[in-house]
Chain A
């Protein structure tokens, strides 16, 4: 704006004070938002200083970088860091991949009523909470006599002994991915449908005239049209991979910590499930996570600007 003023001195802007006075009503409207954001977002940011303190009960004293040296030595932390990356990224790739497949083939459906119905159904689980979905599948997968999955498999003669899916180190992750697919894949198709509805139908007609088969049309028209959206979805979600908490928290348990503990659950356990927590240490873990998250966010922003010409923030 200041550039504008320099090059065109003829246009005189009113003095700043007068302009601000003219906007007084708007400042008043911004005030509640300003105060709210200050309290719930900026005030906690000040608390980041505890990363450099030891904070146990009422005893708070400066320890410099001790928390971070301890953090980098902690095996449990690195295990949670690795789990976060694996669980988040596999979940993201799986959900996106299946959502793309569903979008492409649902797009081929000729009956509009059928298409609308399927869409309505597959969006449904998104509106259930993670707590509810975890409760449903915990009941279904339980080893009790009313456990849907185990008893059904037994009656079909596939297994003879009940499997404790959610307490098994080998089964936990696959089950986690499946439950998340059930809950979120349908909703993931929304964005792809928005793109598909923008494809010019003449393209498909021209292709059929040229003798292209259904699969060829999908391969050469539908899929390329989606590729940009796929990249954007991946970029946008990549920025958030470290934030995963609730989906894991509702399903994990002490017996599968090794394969399921993520950074946020690690922070939670170290703070709220420890007799005398060191808030300083857990704040340091949180700060490390925020900083890596910040870098990922900025990288995604740059990538997004390259791909679609506008950033994500």
Chain B
């Protein structure tokens, strides 16, 4: 493999097939982006908008029915990711304390939730009692505690050399102090990749909103997008904009945060999966 090999027929076919494969992924995304800037709806694939306009994006910014869900998405994603990371690091750190009385019990307590769950309806009834129906914070509560990510975090902490803990202990650090001043600073990469997993999950969640929320001021952007495109419930807008332009511009807004971050953070996006077998 190291040596330079001659380009064989196999290589040529291989390159062609993979370029086609890449095009299959890129063309739909490119079409969405181009059409979001196109004033008139066209069915054809264009490399560049034939009649450029920003009306789609201006409409989203100026229409409360679209801007509000976008802000809801941003807020719940940020808060949810923070809470998710706090829970995953605290729990993961405690699980590393093999000598702690009750550690195994705690571990079973967490792992059992991966095997059995109450199901959609009992969960709904509990959330209703907690006042989380028709409330956007349901997204934070639902995703803030993720046992899978907690275990990933624990696996990562176990890679930190034990001598560092001992040194901190000798210096008279309390567990919390060791945690915040030794463990967390050493875990930036894990925090980035697990934080991204939380953020992607929360930002992209549509079904939780569909189940729990009907109040239009509490929905997130994914839900609003879906209602608009699938159910044809287009909000009245101040701008003159074609339906198609608005649809595609909304799709771009819904994928924008991660499409922008992805090329730079790809490393962190991918390590999460490799750290722990497979996640759906």
Binding site for B on A (CB under 8 A): 16, 19-20, 23, 25-30, 32-34, 36-37, 39-48, 50, 102, 105-106, 108-110, 114, 117-118, 120-125, 127-132, 134-140, 145-148, 150-152, 182, 186-187, 190-191, 194, 201, 204-205, 214-215, 232-233, 236-237, 240, 245-246, 249-250, 264, 267-268, 271-272, 279, 282-283, 286-287, 289-290, 294, 297-298, 312-313
Contact = CB atoms under 8 A, between A and B. Distances in A.
B94 A121 contact: no
Contact of B251 (A106, A122, A135): A135
Given A182-B24, A294-B115, A48 B273 contact: no
Contacts of B179: 29
Contacts of B160: none
A29 B88 CA distance: 11
Given A34-B109, A191-B278, A45 B225 contact: no
22 contacts: A28-B176, A29-B175, A37-B145, A40-B145, A41-B113, A46-B122, A114-B18, A118-B22, A123-B269, A127-B262, A129-B204, A130-B204, A131-B226, A134-B226, A135-B225, A135-B229, A146-B43, A152-B44, A214-B10, A271-B124, A279-B121, A290-B119
Given A44-B122, A46-B122, A26 B222 contact: no
A236 B100 CA distance: 31
A249 B205 CA distance: 12
Contact of B118 (A32, A45, A215): A45
Contacts of A264: 120
A138 B226 CA distance: 10
Nearest to B173: A25
A110 B121 contact: no
Given A25-B176, A33-B90, A214-B10, A41 B117 contact: yes
Interface of B: 1-2, 5, 7-8, 10-11, 14-15, 17-18, 21-22, 24-26, 28-29, 31-32, 41-45, 86-87, 90-91, 93-94, 97, 99-102, 106, 109-111, 113-126, 130, 141-142, 144-145, 147, 150, 174-176, 179, 200, 203-207, 210-211, 222-223, 225-226, 229-230, 244, 247-248, 251, 254-255, 258-259, 262-263, 266, 269-270, 273-274, 277-278, 280
Given A237-B280, A286-B119, A131 B270 contact: no
Contacts of A294: 115-116
A284 to B, nearest CB: 9
A294 B200 CA distance: 27
B18 A118 contact: yes
Contacts of A33: 87, 90-91, 94, 110, 145, 150
A47 B43 contact: no
A103 to B, nearest CB: 12
B184 to A, nearest CB: 12
Contact of B109 (A37, A114, A121): A37
Given A33-B87, A240-B280, A151 B43 contact: yes
A272 B119 contact: no
Given A121-B22, A190-B270, A249 B28 contact: no
B151 to A, nearest CB: 10
Contacts of B124: 271
Contacts of B94: 26, 29-30, 33
A136 B225 contact: no
Nearest to B227: A131
A106 B18 contact: yes
Contacts of A272: 211
